[in-house]
Amino acid sequence: MIDVLVVDDDFMVAKVHRAFVDRVEPFRVVGTANTGEQAVTAVGELRPDLVLLDLYLPDMFGLDVIPRLRTAGHDCDVMVITAAREAAAVHRSVRQGVVNYLLKPFEFEDLRPRLERYAAQRSSLLASVVRDQTDVDRVLAGTALPTSSPVLPKGMSVETAGLVERTLRGIDGSLSAAECAARAGISRVSARRYLEHFQCTGHAEVSLRYGAAGRPERRYSWRS
């Protein structure tokens, strides 16, 4: 299991984020906090692996929580979830080593692939040995290290992942989730989940095709 602490100044928002996280294996929320001081205390007591951190907290700016955690010896990862769109906040987050930065408001389907990518990279890093400079470069770039077997989020199968990969590799250009599902003989929901996983792990690229109305269509191509 990957234990998560949700930090947000709004009680109801924290409740929604908690429900989102609990829907993704192998994550579980072990607690919530509504202020920076509560977050520091909760990390010390609950020892989460990952903190979902809002930046606009009532007692301090969210990023000021991170150095306090490090000073206290806590090595939990931090994913920023905030409405802060200032470039300075993004740059400072990167400098402080956050694993991702997600803007509010968002849907469950925006959060899930980011959590799945984090889980895959965490599992890969824990199971791998750095053997040479190439592996060091991959770690610094945030790319998963090679392992003896594919690392997939729980609920995904190696067989279906291979099928989707072969489908993407076998076409010139790009495919939508519906087109991939039809070619691979799986459901559209499953196709999109695997396609989003490949995009989050850097194996696939996404482009948008705009139509006359409605949301743009997401199209996927294998990254050679």
Helix (H, G, I), strand (E, B) or coil at 14: helix
Distances (CA, A) of 117 to 25, 26, 83: 12, 12, 22
Question: May I ask the CATH architecture of the domain 115-222?
Answer: Orthogonal Bundle (1.10)
Tell which residue, 30, 51, 50, has the closest CA to residue 39. 51
Alpha carbon distance 179, 21 (integer Å):
29
Q: Which amino acid is at 164?
A: V
pLDDT at 208: 87
Task: Please state the pTM of the whole predicted model.
Answer: 0.63
Alpha carbon distance 210, 212 (integer Å):
7
pLDDT at 158: 81
CATH superfamily of 2-113: Response regulator (3.40.50.2300)
Range(s) of the chain covered by CATH 3.40.50.2300: 2-113
Alpha carbon distance 101, 17 (integer Å):
14
Which residues of the chain, if any, have pLDDT below 50? 143-149
Alpha carbon distance 69, 80 (integer Å):
15
Q: Which amino acid is at 138?
A: R
pLDDT at 144: 45
pLDDT at 212: 61
Range(s) of the chain covered by CATH 1.10.10.10: 115-222
3-state helix, strand, coil in the chain (%, to 5): 45, 20, 35
